[in-house]
């Protein structure tokens, strides 16, 4: 019953509704034109909700007509999402760490963590690749392109 289209439609309705709520709460300036800052967002919100409903109706119609939502459609999806979420966590940790450790140690840790997470074995080779990779990226961004990468709280002085 809960095909990808139906889930997509429901998510669209929720997203459109939230957007609409904030559109109606939008402050209006005395300098605003006849449409105002909330004009287009309101139209977009209503369209989003309407299209979400259409997608849900289509999904239900398809399910009743030919039972396209096969039981295998969602097989293993929970595990897949969790694995993807693991990578997101590593990226979030990197964003948190770069402000503390600085660019080179953080990017080396990111390289090593992602490689291990995706199946690389922990070895001297991995450590060397992570270290050399971080130094190469530092050379490209800091030396070559003159980008002021974070020094980190620990190494600021």
Residues 120-149 that bind another protein (CB under 8 A): 120, 129, 133-134, 137, 140-141, 145-149
Q: Which helix (H) or strand (E) holds 104?
A: helix 103-117
* Helix, strand or coil, per DSSP, at residue 67: coil
Site for another protein in 15-74 (CB under 8 A): 15-16, 19, 22, 26-29, 31-41, 44-45, 47-48, 51-52, 54-55, 58
Please report how close the Cβ of residue 115 comes to another protein at its closest, in angstroms: 4
Residue that is written with structure tokens 């770069």 in the block: 98
Give the contact letters, 79-98, x = binds to another protein (CB under 8 A), - = no.
xxx-xx-xxx--xx-xx--x
Work out which of 17, 117, 153, 154 binds another protein, going by CB under 8 A. Answer: 117
Please report how close the Cβ of residue 157 comes to another protein at its closest, in angstroms: 20
Please report how close the Cβ of residue 53 comes to another protein at its closest, in angstroms: 10
Work out which of 65, 71, 72, 119 binds another protein, going by CB under 8 A. Answer: 119
Cβ pair 94, 47 in contact under 8 A: no
Pick the closer one to another protein by CB: 145 or 157. Answer: 145
Pick the closer one to another protein by CB: 28 or 67. Answer: 28
Q: Which helix (H) or strand (E) holds 10?
A: helix 4-24
Cβ pair 5, 62 in contact under 8 A: yes
**Interatomic CA distance for residues 24 and 33, integer angstroms:** 16
N-to-C CA span, the chain: 60
Please report how close the Cβ of residue 123 comes to another protein at its closest, in angstroms: 12
Please report how close the Cβ of residue 85 comes to another protein at its closest, in angstroms: 8
| DSSP assignment of 19-47 | HHHHHHT----TT--SS-TTHHHHHHHHH
């Amino acid at each position: 019953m809960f095909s990808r289209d139906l889930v997509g439609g429901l998510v669209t309705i929720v997203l459109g509704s939230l957007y609409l709520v904030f559109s109606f709460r939008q402050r209006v300036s005395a300098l605003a034109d006849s449409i105002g800052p909330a004009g287009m967002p309101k139209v977009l919100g209503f369209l989003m909700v309407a299209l979400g409903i259409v997608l849900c109706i289509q999904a239900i119609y398809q399910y009743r007509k030919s039972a396209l939502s096969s039981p295998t459609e969602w097989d293993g999806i929970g595990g897949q999402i969790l694995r993807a979420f693991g990578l997101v966590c590593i990226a979030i940790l990197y964003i948190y760490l770069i402000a503390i450790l600085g660019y080179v140690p953080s990017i080396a840790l990111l390289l090593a963590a992602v490689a291990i997470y995706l199946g690389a074995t922990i070895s001297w080779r991995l450590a060397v690749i992570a270290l050399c990779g971080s130094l190469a990226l530092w050379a490209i961004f800091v030396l070559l392109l003159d980008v002021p990468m974070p020094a980190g709280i620990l190494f600021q002085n």
